[in-house]
Structure 1
Amino acid sequence: MVVTRGGALALRPALDAVRTAARARRHPLVLIDGPSGSGKTTFAAALVEAWPGRPPAVVRVDEAIPGWHGLRRGAEALGPRLVTPRQSGRIGVLRRWDWHASRWNGLAHLRPGAPLIIEGCGAFLAGEPAPGAIRVWLTAPDDTRRVRALARDDGGFDDFWDAWESDWRRYLGRSGERASDAIRVRI
């Protein structure tokens, strides 16, 4: 499925597709991936809002990424620490990175048995240990993505945009989009 155009109404088909797929799974895992500024956080928030019953927990991949050149390392770590334990009925752990202090800053423990959304650049890699995860790939034009990303962080991202884009493109080059079986959304 490919959904195009911006706005909440355009997201409805993709939100419905995710909710339909989630109904077929006992403890759904939704992976929302795509480049910075493509609308992943917005889509995740809309999905939580539209979720029937108990809302899913949301983990943002950037919470686990150790700095501007750690995208792959952070996303890979979520698999064995968070996804795999939850799949086997154990508590998963999210090791959090403090972007302002540039150091690790605490752990979050997520209990199994509830829906989970992992959202952010590298989410597909984070969820690789989970066959049957619902995958959503978001895209937007490069100039639109840049404007969105730089506007949301009040200048805090400006000096790092090029480094992050470079890390993102390296991740894509090594990993591929991994989006062939995903619900694709362009907003």
Structure 2
Amino acid sequence: MPDAIVTYPALAARLLTLPPSCGPARLVAVDGPSGAGKSTFTDHLAAVLVGAPIIRSDDFSVPWDADPLTWWRPLEMAVLDPLRDGRPAVLRRYDWHHDRYGPQERIPPAPVAIVEGVGAAWAGSPAAYRIWIDAPRDLRRARALDRDGPEYAEAWDAWSTRESTHFTEDGTRARCDLRVDGTTFTQHRFRTPT
């Protein structure tokens, strides 16, 4: 059976029909291993979900040698708890290049909020919809080292092992509502393996 081709507007329409899962918001979790294409996919999806805030694991300080869920408690306190109460969240996004947090940013409750990063769709997430993005390990590693620099090769390899252990123990991939091929999506559509 051939893979299915889906457009971002079609996915956005589906998401807007879901019941809210975090206060008034339908929380969409975009998860998968490092370098799979989560950030790019999330940007394309958010472009059609006008006004949908994106909160990324990279917005928090997560050392290379940390547990993949290190960012979850700070996410809950800064973003999810206020949104759950229907209040705006206040987030200071971490700047990895300068090793510091940026200015406070107000995140108002919205019909859809996207949480993206390793661990976004874990069992404890209040996600209304979970998306798994994956690509072959060699491609993911090349993307990550192109993004972060070749000096992070050893750290990325160790991180890859930790995230793989997390995904296996949590059963993340099996829990996801949608699987996306991270090798071929474009700005307008993506492929879901069948």
Q: TM-score category by the smaller chain?
A: 0.7 to 0.9
Q: Is the 8 A contact 1:35 1:138 kept in 2?
A: yes
1:23 aligns with 2:17: yes
Q: Which amino acid aligns with 1:166?
A: T
1:161 aligns with 2:159: no
Q: Which residue of 1 aligns with 2:107?
A: 110
Instruction: Work out which of the residue numbers 58, 71, 79 in structure 2 matches 1:82.
Output: 79
Instruction: Work out which of the residue numbers 96, 99, 111 in structure 2 matches 1:99.
Output: 96
Q: Which residue of 2 aligns with 1:146?
A: 141
Q: Distance in 1 between matches of 2:163 and 2:3?
A: 23
The TM-score with structure 1 as length reference comes to 0.76
List runs of 5+ in structure 1 lacking aligned partners: none
List runs of 5+ in structure 2 lacking aligned partners: 183-194
1:185 aligns with 2:180: yes
Is the partner of 1:56 in helix, strand or coil? coil
Pairwise CA distance, 1:102: 4.6
Pairwise CA distance, 1:183: 0.8
User: Can you list the C-alpha shifts for 1:103-151, whole angstroms capped at 9, x where unaligned?
Assistant: 55554432223521111111124971x25x2211111111121122222
| Larger helix proportion of the pair | 1
Q: Distance in 2 between matches of 1:164 and 1:15?
A: 33
Q: Distance in 2 between matches of 1:145 and 1:15?
A: 26
Change (3 A) 1:21 1:65: same
Change (3 A) 1:33 1:153: same
After superposition, the CA RMSD in angstroms is 2.9
Is the partner of 1:123 in helix, strand or coil? coil
Is the partner of 1:19 in helix, strand or coil? helix
Q: Which residue of 2 aligns with 1:171?
A: 166
Q: Which residue of 1 aligns with 2:32?
A: 34
Q: Is the 8 A contact 2:12 2:48 kept in 1?
A: no
Q: Distance in 1 between matches of 2:120 and 2:10?
A: 20
Pairwise CA distance, 1:84: 2.5
Pairwise CA distance, 1:32: 0.4
Q: Which residue of 2 aligns with 1:44?
A: 42
Q: Distance in 2 between matches of 1:11 and 1:148?
A: 24
